[in-house]
A = this chain, B = another copy of it.
Amino acid sequence: MSDCTVGVLGGGQLGRMLALAGIPLGLQFRFFDPSPEACAREVGTLTIGAWSDHEALRSFAQDCDAVTFEFENVPTASLNALESVIAVQPSRLALATSSDRICEKRFFQSCGIAVQPFAEVGSVKELDIALATVGTPGVLKTRSLGYDGKGQCVVRDARAALEAWNSLGRMPCIYEAFVPFEREVSIVAVRAKVDGVVQFDAYTLGENVHRDGILHTTIVPARVHSALIASAREHARVVAEALDYIGVFAIEFFVADDVLIANEMAPRVHNSGHWTMDGAVTSQFENHLRAILSLPLGSCAQQNAHTAMLNIVGCVPSASTLLADPSLKLHLYGKDARKGRKTGHINMCADTSTELLRLLSCAEHYSVQCVL
Contact = CB atoms under 8 A, between A and B. Distances in A.
Interface of A: 1-2, 16, 20, 23-26, 28, 42-43, 194, 281-282, 290, 294-299, 303-304, 316, 319-320, 323-324, 326-327, 329-332, 334, 336, 344, 349
Contacts of A323: 290, 295-296, 298
Given A23-B43, A25-B319, A26-B316, 6 more contacts: A20-B20, A23-B334, A26-B344, A194-B320, A298-B323, A299-B326
Contacts of A281: 326-327, 329, 349
7 contacts: A20-B23, A23-B43, A23-B334, A26-B332, A26-B344, A28-B334, A295-B320
Nearest to A318: B1
Contact of A296 (B25, B324, B336): B324
Nearest to A294: B320
A232 B290 CA distance: 39
Given A296-B320, A320-B296, A323-B298, A42 B26 contact: no
Nearest to A300: B326
Contacts of A299: 326-327
A298 B326 contact: yes
Contact of A303 (B16, B20, B290, B303): B303
B332 A24 contact: yes
Given A2-B336, A316-B26, A331-B24, A296 B326 contact: yes
Nearest to A316: B2
B23 A42 contact: yes
A327 B280 CA distance: 11
A267 to B, nearest CB: 23
A319 B349 CA distance: 29
A17 to B, nearest CB: 8
A295 B344 CA distance: 18
A330 B25 contact: yes
- Residue among A23, A194, A331 having the largest count of chain B Cβ atoms under 10 Å: A23
Contacts of A24: 20, 330-332
A287 to B, nearest CB: 10
The 7 closest A-B pairs by CB, nearest first: A26-B332, A299-B326, A1-B319, A24-B331, A296-B323, A296-B324, A295-B323
A66 to B, nearest CB: 13
A312 to B, nearest CB: 11
A355 to B, nearest CB: 12
B319 A295 contact: yes
A128 B121 CA distance: 96
